[in-house]
Structure 1
């Protein structure tokens, strides 16, 4: 799991900060829109999915008025009609990819994802063909400064809330739960008055593949190309992020 949390820290390693911020805002607005439409309306008190989307929007420093406008638009007659779609495929050297998108035009998104695969030595597969390579987990990123209790006591509370793995890094604690315990952990953190920096269901690779550094860099460049697409929300893969690769990336 520790390798995964490293990946979470570096997946946006390139690009201008303003471009990165705009992309994060676009993703957050789409998440809010889907939560309002499919999760139970514009009231966060009655809509857990919307509460989670608002928390994630705050995690990327989206202004309060922007969040409120997104909720208002999503609940109005002219709301964008987004739907969630997923794609599976292989990149170079047999690296598996699972891609989650939020789109108002499925045909456009399919064409774009297929094009990115084919132009970069990969291929789009059929849905369900690679899902078995990933385990869907709840992943919570918590700022250490927000934890007021003793860490050992806090960990016991997290385990009670369904935590299966807890990774402690310098400034952030990463908490992992089974898919079915995602809501339970959200409720536990609310009970503890802890607002996570980010909380989402992620697809964690069951096994990873290590490649030579130069080949691995090409995979990460492909990840970035997918993430630059406006319809793409999340990109998962089973490339092993070795210490050697992480060091090489820091040098770039």
Structure 2
């Protein structure tokens, strides 16, 4: 049976995308600090954003600068707005694009252009959201974490998680969005650390992309990732390892 890769992740893990990734993470830290205060011990969303930044080796100077700017200590305070854009990719793939922007008109035009230039189209709000469920997702590296599958499953469920997905290189612990903070805190007290911890939109069903559609979709995902206003992209397609090899990914 062929293995498949679901496109649900973000903020590229490739070395050349590192700086772009840090820009997005700094913006997330800034927004959470401005909304909930600059003290991560009293602001869970900020604490999580900082942990995600540190997990990809973002320098603490960058983190501190974003927090200080949000607290008014830096120049150029900006009011960012969180917006979701929805649409369809080649083959009718459902796509949700999460943005943080200070200029709604610019971002809407950019997102629409990315859809249109790569065989898709942006739709109305709600056109694909019903195909996804919002979940908290905690990712644990299997290489760095020595507990076995059964133990992780038991401890996660006892902490209030909904499920644990065992991947080749990670455990993905899913929670109800409202239980995310509780589960994360409970597992941290048991020694867990997370590569990423975030709220994601998980597709209820997936479709296999291949051939020209797969190539266009990967180019579309790259274009979204390169846009500073785009924080996350969620889609309901998957691509087989064989197809990824054919494309050269």
TM-score by length of structure 1 reads 0.88
1:46 to 36, 42, 57: 42
Match of 1:69 among 65, 70, 82: 65
Q: Is the 8 A contact 1:25 1:62 kept in 2?
A: yes
1:36 aligns with 2:71: no
Deviation at 1:106, TM superposition (A): 0.8
Query: Aligned pair in 2 of structure 1 residues 168, 31: CA closer, same or farther (>3 Å)?
Result: same
Q: Residues of 2 paired with 1:108 and 1:176: CA distance?
A: 34
Give the number of the structure with larger relative contact order, counting CA–CA contacts within 8 Å between residues 6 or more apart. 2
Displacement of 1:32: 0.3
1:98 matched residue in structure 2: 96
1:168-207 CA-partner distances (Å, limit 9, x unpaired): 3344222122222211222112212322111111111111
Equivalent residue, structure 1, for 2:204: 206
* Larger fraction in helix: 1
- Name whichever of 144-153 and 214-223 sits farther off: 144-153
Summarize deviations over 1:221-246 as a string: whole Å, max 9, x none.
11111111110011111112234323
Change in Cα spacing, 1:3 to 1:181, as seen in structure 2 (3 Å) is farther
Task: Describe the SS at the equivalent of 2:79.
Answer: coil
- The number of residue pairs the alignment matches comes to 245
Return the match for 1:107 from 95, 100, 105: 105
Aligned-partner Cα distance in 2 for 1:111–1:184: 38
Return the offset for 1:94: 0.9
Q: Give the direction of change, closer, same or farther, for the CA distance of 1:56–1:147 in structure 2 (3 Å limit).
A: same
Displacement after TM superposition at 1:9 (Å): 7.0
Taking the aligned partners of 1:192 and 1:105, their CA distance within structure 2 comes to 42
